[in-house]
Structure 1
Amino acid sequence: MTSVLTGFTKSRWFKLVWIVPAILLGLFLVVLAARMIRELPAVASFMTEYPGESELPESAPVGFPAWLGWQHFLNAFFILLIIRTGWQIRTTKRTAAYWTRNNTGLLRTKNPPVRIALHVWFHLSLDTLWVLNGVIFYVLIFATGQWMRIVPLSWDVFPNAVSVAIQYASLNWPTENGWVNYNALQLLAYFITVFIAAPLALITGIRMAPGLAGRFARLDRVFPLPLARAVHFPVMLWFVGFIIVHVTLVLATGALRNLNHMYAARDDLSWWGFGIFAISLVVMAVAWIAARPSILSSLAGLTGSVRR
């Protein structure tokens, strides 16, 4: 018994014994402070003036088109596997196999192909599909006016975001109607994710890509490789944090209605959105399990040679 206890105290899981209570204590103090702040007359007046959302233009669309539901699923699918493979690149010391591009046909270049780890190939392949999906997303949101829902159009978005943060922190959450308008904090989070984090992930990823880093050596003075690495990882952490908070709030603020908005393009309490969401989870779980070296080697072999 003593040896088992000693082994546990030396394991990495023992840190959770201290981390979890510390997090819970921190959350309790935040909620307590937010509730106290809300009672102050000046803060109450501030929150009355800025209830939490900016007014949209009259031309702004109401509701979500069906294509946005498909975009949401594809983005979730790709980013989940991208985060997984990105973490593998950061932590894997010995890869299962290596992939080398076929230097023939349309893929033929003057520079010799670079051998890369199989999980790096999978990461770059997922990145390519994610970027193509992102290009379609950008075209559609600007063509349909959906961009007005996720781009700040007034400076009052910032005081409204502070108001929403106080409401969330005090556990007296704002009344939301995402079908019509996002609150200011949601708007800023979506704007940062779509127009800042995503482009940063792409730019820094291209800078670090095997075979391309050497070709961009002239950029070392203005965009050195270590800088790209230093930015790329925090961007990944942003996406992880965004996903955790996003999913938590979707489920905690009216799951059926929110899932209908996101997946079924309807504003009601039916189970259609939940059903589509459940199917999407099954698809992502199957893809996660199927992403094994044996299967990835077969796929990678279609465009190059795979060797151990």
Structure 2
Amino acid sequence: MVQLRRGLPRVPGGEPWPPLIDDTPAPAPAPAMRQGLPRVPGGEPWPPVAAAPVAADTAAAASAENTVEVPLRRGLPRVAGGDGWPPAGTVRVAAPPEAAAPAAEPAPVAEPAPAPAPAPAAAATPKPEPVEAERGRGVVDKRWLVALALLAVVAILGARWFIGTDTGADFVERYDGTQPLPDNAPVGFPAWLNWAHFFNMFLMAMIIKTGIDVRREKRPAGYWTSKRGRKISLTQWLHQTLDIAWVVLGVVFYVLLFTTGQWMRIVPTSWEAIPNAISAGLQYLALDWPNERSWVAYNALQELFYFLTVFIASPLAIVSGFRMSSMWPKSWTGVPVAWARAVHFPTMIYFLVFIAIHVFLVLTTGVRSNMNGMFTARESSDWIGVLVFLLALAVTALGWFVARGSFAAPLAKLTGKVTKR
């Protein structure tokens, strides 16, 4: 029987609580031990399922042979100034399995085989570092340059070979690249065409510069709000204002072009312009350039490209730019803005390529005579035209430098409200 520890009585003068119990409790079933993970892959959980050898009764354990004597653990005294409780003594308890009998040597357990390493997941493609991305882009650019250089070499060799054959020589002799002109076509360049050429050069440079700024702009220097409440950045306002000036220049140019007969120099008037343009292109590629006398007439290839620039590329740039601008009425939904975006930027690329080729030919086919014709309206070989061109180039460079939103703020205030945000 296990003697219960008794405390104070529940009522004054009563017996200590709890009362003495004489019956011996039935032995409780041995609890099952908690199992963990298996010792080997695929094995049973460890330890095996078994009842723990725990003695359920102290008296029974004392009467057994496998007991040991241990000192009682003492706590605080029951009364003030008394000894610690319980009194000093010993008690016999069931011996642990290690002390009761020497345990049999456990059967050797095979070392757990190392678990197979998980198959590596498909490695995601690492995002290239900015430096690596820039380096890769540079390699691509170099490849394009090499490809274009090889293409140019092949074109030059092919053109020289074709012109050297009898068929090519006969073709160039029949169509020498001269522009077919009506008998009443004007000769020379009038002064208004020189002024239009300068303003066109200036405005196109400013439009291209501000257009690139609009595409790159992240934090505008300020905003312009129209009287109708439409709000755009100052850079957009400057770009659109320059566009309007270019459109006005184009209207004046068209009127003077057709009233003075100069249209005949840039509009094909005969189907023979096509084979002559092909002949002129072959001569350029063969590095045996056709005779240049732009004061009298362009060659047929120049005529076709001037026609394409003035009557096709320019209207496309104007219409697509107008559709993308804040001036486009919201009620006009017939022209999608996606079309305008798909046309406007490639048109700017065309103008850049045209300008590069145009300047190259001007500088390599008689720079002084060409500059005099374009800027002084004279057929001469002196240096006056070159000096005027350098002055025009300086003015254009100055305009390129100051063409920014902060500079445009005072001008923008004349047509609307300018704010920081």
For each residue in 1:234-257, what CA deviation from the matched residue of structure 2 results, as whole angstroms up to 9, or x when unmatched?
211111111010000000111000
| Residue matched to 1:107 | none
1:73 maps to a residue whose letter is F
Aligned partners of 1:100 and 1:113 also within 8 Å: yes
- Paired positions, count: 290
1:67 maps to a residue whose letter is W
| Residue matched to 2:413 | 301
**Post-superposition offset of 1:289:** 0.9
1:273 maps to a residue whose letter is G
In the alignment, structure 1 residue 199 sits paired with structure 2 residue 315: yes
**Post-superposition offset of 1:163:** 0.4
Residues 231/213 of structure 1: CA separation in 2 closer, same or farther (3 Å cut): farther
Aligned partners of 1:54 and 1:154 also within 8 Å: no
In the alignment, structure 1 residue 236 sits paired with structure 2 residue 363: no
Higher-Rg member (1/2): 2
| Residue matched to 1:3 | none
| Residue matched to 2:22 | none
What are the equivalent positions in structure 2 for 1:61-140 lying under 5 Å apart? 61-101=186-226, 103=227, 112-140=228-256
Ranges in structure 1 where 5+ consecutive residues have no aligned partner:
1-5, 104-111
**Post-superposition offset of 1:25:** 2.2
2:179 maps to a residue whose letter is S
Structure number having the greater helix percentage:
1
**Post-superposition offset of 1:19:** 3.6
Aligned counterparts of 1:146 and 1:84: Cα–Cα separation in 2: 30
| Residue matched to 1:263 | 375
Aligned counterparts of 2:360 and 2:350: Cα–Cα separation in 1: 15
Aligned counterparts of 1:171 and 1:228: Cα–Cα separation in 2: 39
Aligned counterparts of 1:76 and 1:11: Cα–Cα separation in 2: 36
Ranges in structure 2 where 5+ consecutive residues have no aligned partner:
1-130
Aligned counterparts of 2:135 and 2:247: Cα–Cα separation in 1: 43
Local SS of the residue matching 1:99: strand
In the alignment, structure 1 residue 246 sits paired with structure 2 residue 358: yes
Q: TM-score, normalised by structure 1?
A: 0.89
Aligned counterparts of 1:118 and 1:40: Cα–Cα separation in 2: 59
2:217 maps to a residue whose letter is T
| Residue matched to 1:277 | 389
Residues 240/9 of structure 1: CA separation in 2 closer, same or farther (3 Å cut): closer
2:337 maps to a residue whose letter is L
Q: TM-score, normalised by structure 2?
A: 0.66
Local SS of the residue matching 2:287: coil
Aligned partners of 2:180 and 2:300 also within 8 Å: no
| Residue matched to 2:170 | 45
**Post-superposition offset of 1:56:** 1.2
Match of 2:304 among 166, 188, 201: 188
- Tell me which of the two structures has the higher relative contact order, counting C-alpha pairs closer than 8 angstroms and 6 or more residues apart: 1
RMSD: 1.7
**Post-superposition offset of 1:7:** 6.7
Aligned counterparts of 1:9 and 1:294: Cα–Cα separation in 2: 31
Aligned partners of 2:179 and 2:303 also within 8 Å: no
Aligned counterparts of 1:171 and 1:52: Cα–Cα separation in 2: 14
Aligned counterparts of 1:141 and 1:74: Cα–Cα separation in 2: 15
| Percent of pairs with identical residues | 46
2:203 maps to a residue whose letter is F
Aligned counterparts of 2:277 and 2:229: Cα–Cα separation in 1: 49
Aligned partners of 1:100 and 1:114 also within 8 Å: yes
Aligned partners of 1:64 and 1:261 also within 8 Å: yes
Aligned counterparts of 2:329 and 2:183: Cα–Cα separation in 1: 47
For each residue in 1:126-181, what CA deviation from the matched residue of structure 2 results, as whole angstroms up to 9, or x when unmatched?
01111111111111111111011000000011111110110111111101100001
